[in-house]
A and B are shown apart, each in its own frame.
Chain A
């Protein structure tokens, strides 16, 4: 190996005169630094960088790591509330839980793995799950759930779109199932807008002792501190992945995707749990961070910078694959399944022994283990050595300098509300067509790929309620509800209003399951930041997210916003001129005070009434009915009155906590008719329940009554509790309609305005709902 090549300057003093030329040369060698950054780097170092330094800063200043185009906009999001323990900034956000779980905190993270999944769907999605699980795990938490929000192209668009869909699902299943973390659902949308750029957003939840949170930094004082790398032996895999995620797709980029190993990861997590136990028992102060983009370089330099000190890393001490690799590869490779500890030097050997001896990681994956790779420096310098050579030597200020790129933005006028131009469709056929569509059909075919019950915490599974619900502790009644939101059609036609809906929908889903919306995470999936329209949409989106979050926090802490505690920005989801629709994806977690009052969406008891709380009457714009039944462009989303939405969610939570309602389901894609069908389809196959529905009660046309997507919630109430719900709705100035009665017959029978009585058998609804995804897995749809 040519070590000399490693310490050569990346460019000469003479070449520095032309930063643009330097930038182009670097790009050809796989390092992305724009001309401004070329000059800035030389200025920060006081000399042209050595080659490993150029690689390091190329990654640190990539869009993926630096948020250089968006950081100034992200400040718009509300991030504080009394329950927030750690807001955005570390690998994951942390929120406190109420009694009887005050001794625990909930850890949340949200990431995207869009580009890798488009190129290599199975590995891309699997490493996405792997990465998000590390983000939560490195806070000292046990990971208790993952979710995924998926946006795929139209499967009829070509073989690749189908391969991406099947591959991503397989990747999530293969990895998550083996890891032993339950899959708590998410959502999936198919649209032409994602033909060349799929979106794979992954989210994870964890629990940690309140006093056992580990921070991603060198701890204050004490010392001397040792850096200990644990996990897979470093190789060249994923080299350049961070730069990869910040460039448009094109050419063969398969070399940048990392290979996952869930087997090692599982054992590593069991070993980590033992290490956490030991650290806490012994009262050892420690820092802990996962390795992601930028590998050892980013993790160690950021831990030093966050701790206000320096670091010296000696690369020759790294456990690594046998084949020789250039030092800058070892320094920056994105080899999966690795973490970095910072612990007192005296404790480091004991820590290494946990991984190397007690869990013998080497027997699980050859070469895996733990090694001491460096120490913290009082001097605020970051140095990397390789035998006797110095590869990196820069002031910590250079690491933390951060980059800011001003991107011009152009806001666009929101789309006008659409009115259906064609005749309305016959109601009976329209509901079946919605169920048969890829986007409104049942997700059960997908859920069956995933283990949603490992760990034995799961109370309400994906498909059983609007939000998945898990138990926090076996001896305590507290639950966590979790759901996602984000309608790409609405965000495409009106980014700001679409973003408001994304927050409202995620929180409403949580409320429908009986959870008090407690915290949010987000990922902003957009096209090129150089495109003024993209930046305009991004600005509008952040405004929308912020406004909605500011309005919906009262169920956790009165007078406070619903805080965003973690998030991610994914740009360059664009091919040529074609950017993905603006796609904010929001996760909301909520607190279920007692699991016995968590609400499912399935009908429970014949003789009960269904009550719709909402205002479904005036809008069809933006609906799935327009898109998938009438085949027209949807137009603007329905309006959203956030104050009213807050009262609606409060009603849902009080109905659950007070025991007024037996089930609840929100009205969203497909409108009231689809919501009612889903409530009937969620009853047990062998003991199905049906509904007698009166759409005439809504005093509007059939298609508005059935298919408007103006937000609302359908509650199932017993006859004796119905009055209580109506009163509570009235107290909150919410309109409530008795809309249906639960029947023991397996059918939906509805009085339709102007259409007499329409009837669907449950088995025909079920067959229609299950058809689309099963076909996608079993046919080559031309």
Chain B
């Protein structure tokens, strides 16, 4: 059941490991050595993205709540960056291509929503997805390569999203939508989402 997005604000929480991310390192190694489109991939980061939607408190209080809860991130090993408007900067660095991967039908976080309601008395929606940030060596069509790596279509093509169970969206630094998760492509003018193609 999706509530109307007309009411309330949306805040993004970007979560990144403080240390080297073994998952991103493994993926980078495989992409570079096995996939044609990945030979020029120079760097790969993995961030978890939460979008909180509803009647939200002030930014500092959101930060404190996220820090306190165990449903969002672990401050001991991860850092969290909030983004409350599309004008704000994002963790996506200049030159990076972002690939968002969302479990189809599994983007909502009922446990986190329940926790939030219990702590604040406010019912909000929490959605989550995984953002892969790709940095390519200069001299190529980065966006096209990112698109090719995004969707797995065969042994030699794509990795990050299996379109049979996951949706994905692409964005470049500086053009990161807010909200980004779960909005229907038809409903957003100039929608950033691309459905994967086979």
Contacts and interface: CB of A to CB of B under 8 A. Distances in A.
Given A120-B74, A255-B76, 11 more contacts: A122-B74, A123-B74, A123-B76, A159-B118, A159-B119, A163-B70, A254-B76, A366-B20, A780-B115, A780-B117, A782-B118
Nearest to B19: A259
Most buried by A among B19, B22, B29, B75: B22
A167 interface: yes
B119 A365 contact: no
Contacts of A120: 74, 76
A661 interface: no
Contacts, number: 33
A254 B18 CA distance: 14
A603 interface: no
A261 interface: yes
Interface in A161-184: 163, 166-167
A363 to B, nearest CB: 8
23 contacts: A121-B70, A122-B74, A123-B76, A123-B77, A159-B115, A159-B118, A159-B119, A163-B70, A167-B70, A254-B76, A257-B76, A259-B19, A259-B77, A261-B22, A363-B29, A366-B20, A366-B25, A779-B114, A780-B114, A780-B115, A780-B117, A780-B118, A782-B118
Nearest to A237: B19
A48 B196 CA distance: 68
Nearest to A119: B76
A159 B77 CA distance: 21
A323 to B, nearest CB: 10
Nearest to B22: A365
Contacts of B75: 254
Interchain residue pairs A-B with the least CB separation, the first 5: A780-B118, A254-B76, A163-B70, A780-B114, A120-B76
Nearest to A167: B70
Contacts of A366: 20, 22, 25
Interface string B79-121: 0000000000000000000000000000000000011011100
Contacts of A255: 76
A68 to B, nearest CB: 30
Contacts of B29: 363
A365 B23 CA distance: 10
Most buried by B among A122, A159, A779: A159
Nearest to A255: B76
Nearest to A261: B22
A257 B76 CA distance: 9
Interface in B36-72: 69-70
B10 to A, nearest CB: 23
A776 to B, nearest CB: 12
Q: Binding site of A, secondary structure by majority: helix, strand, loop or mixed? A: helix
Interface string B1-36: 000000000000000000110100100010000000
A257 B77 CA distance: 10
A780 B71 CA distance: 12
B104 to A, nearest CB: 23
Interface of A: 120-123, 159, 163, 166-167, 254-255, 257, 259, 261, 263, 363, 365-366, 779-780, 782
A365 B20 CA distance: 11
A121 B62 CA distance: 23
A167 B20 CA distance: 23
A755 B84 CA distance: 65
Interface of B: 19-20, 22, 25, 29, 69-70, 74-77, 114-115, 117-119
A780 B19 CA distance: 32
A252 to B, nearest CB: 9
A207 B114 CA distance: 45
Contacts of A121: 70
Nearest to A170: B70
A163 B70 CA distance: 7
A123 B17 CA distance: 14
Contacts of A780: 114-115, 117-118
Most buried by A among B22, B70, B115, B117: B70
B121 to A, nearest CB: 12
Contacts of B76: 120, 123, 254-255, 257
Contacts of A365: 22
Nearest to A121: B70
Nearest to A252: B76
B112 to A, nearest CB: 11
Contacts of A263: 22
B125 to A, nearest CB: 17
A780 B117 CA distance: 9
Nearest to A163: B70
A122 B77 CA distance: 12
Contacts of A166: 70
A121 B74 CA distance: 11
A629 B117 CA distance: 31
A167 to B, nearest CB: 6
A123 to B, nearest CB: 8
Contacts of A779: 114
Nearest to B71: A163
A10 B75 CA distance: 33
Nearest to A365: B22
A328 B33 CA distance: 38
Nearest to A120: B76
Contacts of B117: 780
B33 to A, nearest CB: 11
Contacts of B77: 123, 259
A98 B15 CA distance: 54
A782 to B, nearest CB: 7
B64 to A, nearest CB: 14
Contacts of A123: 74, 76-77
Contacts of A167: 70
A163 B118 CA distance: 14
Contacts of A782: 118
Contacts of A159: 69, 115, 118-119
Nearest to B110: A778
A582 to B, nearest CB: 30
A113 to B, nearest CB: 16
A123 B118 CA distance: 25
Contacts of B114: 779-780
Contacts of A254: 75-76
A123 B75 CA distance: 13
Contacts of B25: 366
Nearest to A779: B114
A122 B75 CA distance: 13
A91 B115 CA distance: 41
A167 B75 CA distance: 15
Nearest to B20: A366
Most buried by A among B25, B29, B77, B114: B77
A314 B13 CA distance: 45
Nearest to B114: A780
Nearest to A160: B70
Nearest to A782: B118
A782 B25 CA distance: 41
A365 B29 CA distance: 12
A366 B20 CA distance: 10
A257 B75 CA distance: 13
A363 B28 CA distance: 12
A366 B119 CA distance: 41
A324 B29 CA distance: 25
Nearest to B68: A159
A198 to B, nearest CB: 14
Nearest to B77: A259
A29 to B, nearest CB: 22
Contacts of B119: 159
A174 B115 CA distance: 22
Nearest to A780: B118
Contacts of A122: 74
Contacts of B115: 159, 780
A434 to B, nearest CB: 28
B105 to A, nearest CB: 19
A121 B71 CA distance: 13
Nearest to A259: B77
